[in-house]
Amino acid sequence: MPKFEISKTDLEKLVGRKFTIKELEDEALLYAKTELDGHDGDTLKVDVKDTNRPDLWSVEGIARELKGHFKIEEGLPKYSVKKANWKATVESPDEFHKFVTAAVIRNVKITKEVLSQMVQLQEKVGGTFGRNRKAMSMGAYDLSKIKFPVKYIGKKPEEIKFKPLGYDKEMTAKEILQNHEKGKQYGHLLRDSKKYNVWLDANNSILAMEPIINSNIAGNVTTETTDVFIECSGDDMKSLHTAINVLASALAERGGQIEEVEITYNNKKIITPDFTPKTAHLDPDYCRKIIGLEISDTEMIRLLKEGRYSAKMDQKKIHVEYPAYRQDIMHQRDLVEDIAIGFGYNDIEPQIPTLPTVGSRDKLEDFSNIIRELCVGLGLQEVITFNLTNKESMFKKMNLPEGKIVEIENPVSSNWSVFRNSILPNLLEVLSFNKNQEYPQNIFEVGDVVLFDSENKETGVSNKRRVAIALTGTQVGYEDASSILSAFLSNLGKKLTLKKTTHPSFISGRAAEIVVENKLVGIIGEIHPQVLNNWNLEKPVVGFEVDVEALY
């Protein structure tokens, strides 16, 4: 969860009222899904409990939320975006971070507190929302040191040379990646790129090399700066619009005037930032059912306004507008959550259900624990990975044609847009992250995949329990995986049959179907060299994946 520091005095100034430490700890910060993690004099250490609300990852965002709950400023926050002649073009970018959004903020009084929050917000959004700059990065620049129009363009590494932030001498792209602190930290993101994306101004001065570092001239924002150019680069336009709105609105809360930037992609033009409110509807009866309180429609509307929504009755539903810097409202239950927060979780009296129930451990979970113990006994280390992933990991990196897979309708990020239908790709990703660790590496996971199942499930999909193992090392081979599989099934009292097969993810002639009691339950083999290359793995890998429920 994002953690950062804010000034108590700065928070009080932005909200328009004083707070005691106890008030902040017991009530106020909870309204902004934030907890007080400690304090030292005027410095508050806060811990945000929601990774889907980047708008709360700064003192400006917290203050904006608190102004609503303390009835200082209710309803939908409104930001005017002034028309201007700021233009940017995107020309032949590298595929990594090929999209951008931008804005200009004029007349900002940048104090030490403002500068600190701006830097923290960029780092938190790029680090958490942007997955350590892999999915997105952000930059801020002194507008007075930039000549427009600006250009976002892919350049060969040998063509790039500028003074990076914190350095007075020019460095090549190679030198930045090898010697600069940020180059060492994020340089791995560019290892597959033949071109590096840079921002250029009209004088062909390099403003930044994405997603590594800004220049020491334009990118050096100080307390003397009054006008700021901000930009976001990444792979998903929806996330980029959210990110630029978050940063622009935070600076607008400081009194800055937002001005639009026209961005040209070939023949297409977009205007950013776009603060057009988003809309949703809430069924009051559904809200009462979920919260468990007989709360009136009028009270719901009041609490939504305090939560910085615009809300009014539209026939039998509550029509809601919410700010463009939010992307977390995917279902009316999200609105119910904010109503419950506004009402106060501590004010909801818990009731013991009168329905008698008898609990017991799930039999499949018991069986899964037996499998885990067997795997550990066979010298394997357990890992736990995410069910959400992306099509590239499931298909392209596994040397497979794109097939039918359960997708998220409105994903927050393209990196987490589908439910996995296999566990082996996750294990290969784990191995790719641990190439510098000691070998051999023998790992396993017992987890769920999501498959289409329209015949048996009303939802059309079902979760299926799988176990997968992956072994890697200099001398590892098919026999290593098959011996573990044989011992594994023998301990479960199952008779193993292997049938030769071909599969694009495995080496031809080194793969087999796993058959137990005349039923196909999985696949085993040596991972294909192309798959290893796709995952940047340098040593051979063998593995298998088995349907746990079929064994059970």
Q: Counting Cβ atoms within 10 Å, is residue 3 exposed (0-12), middle (13-18) or buried (19+)?
A: middle
Lowest mean pLDDT among 155-164, 452-461, 477-486: 452-461
Distance, in Å, from the CA atom of 84 to the CA atom of 72, rounded to the nearest integer, reads 32
DSSP bridge partners of 449: 464
pTM for the complete prediction? 0.69
Residues 428, 321 share a domain: no
Listed in sequence order, the DSSP H helices in 167-236 are 173-179, 181-186
Residues 86, 52 share a domain: no
Q: Around Cβ 451, how many Cβ atoms within 10 Å?
A: 17
Distance, in Å, from the CA atom of 548 to the CA atom of 552, rounded to the nearest integer, reads 6
Would you give the distance in Å from CA 203 to the centre of its chain? 35
Domains of the chain: total: 4
Backbone angles phi, psi at 332, to 5 degrees: -65, -20
Distance, in Å, from the CA atom of 305 to the CA atom of 85, rounded to the nearest integer, reads 35
Per-residue pLDDT tens over the stretch 304-335: 999 999 999 998 999 999 999 998 999 999 99
In a domain, 168, yes or no: yes
Residues 426, 340 share a domain: no
In a domain, 349, yes or no: no
In a domain, 133, yes or no: yes
pLDDT value of position 390: 93
pLDDT value of position 359: 81
Q: How many CA atoms lie within 13 A of 376 on its CB side?
A: 9
Residues 216, 289 share a domain: no
Per-residue pLDDT tens over the stretch 179-221: 999 999 999 999 889 999 999 999 999 999 999 999 999 999 9
Residues 259, 112 share a domain: yes
Q: Are 180 and 263 in contact (CB under 8 A)?
A: no
Q: Are 250 and 60 in contact (CB under 8 A)?
A: yes
Residue 35, token pair as written in the block: 């907890």
Q: Counting Cβ atoms within 10 Å, is residue 289 exposed (0-12), middle (13-18) or buried (19+)?
A: exposed
SS3 category, 519: strand
Backbone angles phi, psi at 419, to 5 degrees: -90, 135
Check whether 460 has a pLDDT greater than 90: no
* Average confidence (pLDDT) over 82-96: 94
The CATH number for 329's domain is 3.30.56.10
Check whether 164 has a pLDDT greater than 80: yes
- Asked which of 69, 104, 119 is the last residue of a domain, the reply is 69
Residue 121, token pair as written in the block: 């917000």
Distance, in Å, from the CA atom of 281 to the CA atom of 16, rounded to the nearest integer, reads 31
In a domain, 75, yes or no: no
Distance, in Å, from the CA atom of 364 to the CA atom of 380, rounded to the nearest integer, reads 21
pLDDT value of position 433: 92
Check whether 350 has a pLDDT greater than 90: no
pLDDT band for position 409 (50/70/90)? Answer: confident
DSSP bridge partners of 106: 257
Q: Are 82 and 103 in contact (CB under 8 A)?
A: no
Residues 166, 41 share a domain: no
Mean predicted lDDT score pLDDT of the chain:
93
- Asked which of 219, 242, 272 is the last residue of a domain, the reply is 272
pLDDT value of position 267: 82
In a domain, 517, yes or no: yes
pLDDT value of position 233: 95
Percent of the chain residues past pLDDT 90, beyond the cut: 82
Structural domain for 19, as ranges: 3-69
pLDDT value of position 295: 93
Nearest to 551 by CA among 502, 494, 491: 494
Please tell me what DSSP assigns to residue 401. Answer: -
pLDDT value of position 125: 87
* Average confidence (pLDDT) over 407-423: 88
In a domain, 230, yes or no: yes
pLDDT value of position 130: 85
Per-residue pLDDT tens over the stretch 242-296: 999 999 999 999 999 999 999 999 889 999 999 999 999 999 999 999 998 899 9
Length of the chain counted residue by residue: 552
Check whether 153 has a pLDDT greater than 80: yes
In a domain, 354, yes or no: no
Q: Are 56 and 65 in contact (CB under 8 A)?
A: yes
Residues 397, 257 share a domain: no
